[in-house]
Amino acid sequence: MLITAKNTNAKAYDLYKGISHAISAVETVKGASHPNALVEGDFGPGYKVSLTDSEVKVTGCFDEEWNAVDSERADAEVCYYVRIRVFPSEYSYGFAEEFAQMYQIDVEVTRITPYVLEKNNVYQVFSMQAARCYSAFTR
């Protein structure tokens, strides 16, 4: 019962921290003039931004205490990932400057180390979806 209580408490705390990071990430994306304008400094330490033609991927890495971790270090002990994917919605009219563009924002928070005496290595803490319309008028 003690281990179950400890795991339940840890999962509740992870949910709290995961929601906090997810909401912060969505607000950061929504606050940008355009998804392609996002940079790593917008999100804070532990986050990496990669841009493609029509998609932005942001990955945040955190240790067991939710401290930011540089995932490229060999000794990095990553416990949590916050993954954000920003891409054009199917309802978007294209990438022309004169059209409004609807973007989908998907956020997923996962834990990759198992809880005490649990076998599941990957645990989805939280996920959410949002949308943002970008146009020349919002810049």
Residue 22 CB burial class (10 angstroms; 0-12, 13-18, ≥19): buried
Q: Give the confidence band of 34 by pLDDT, cuts at 50, 70, 90.
A: confident
pLDDT surpassing 80 at residue 135: no
Per the structure, the complete domain to which residue 10 belongs is given by 2-138
- Total domains in the fold of the chain: 1
Longest Cα–Cα distance of the chain, Å, equals: 60
The residue with greater pLDDT, 92 or 107, is 107
The residue with greater pLDDT, 17 or 138, is 17
pLDDT in tens, 76-90: 688 999 999 999 887
Distances (CA, A) of 50 to 97, 99, 114: 22, 24, 28
Compute how many other C-beta atoms are within 10 angstroms of the C-beta atom of residue 134: 21
pLDDT surpassing 60 at residue 43: yes
pLDDT surpassing 60 at residue 74: no
pLDDT in tens, 51-71: 987 899 999 999 999 999 886
- How far is 118 from 120, CA to CA, in rounded Å? 6
pLDDT surpassing 90 at residue 1: no
pLDDT surpassing 80 at residue 49: yes
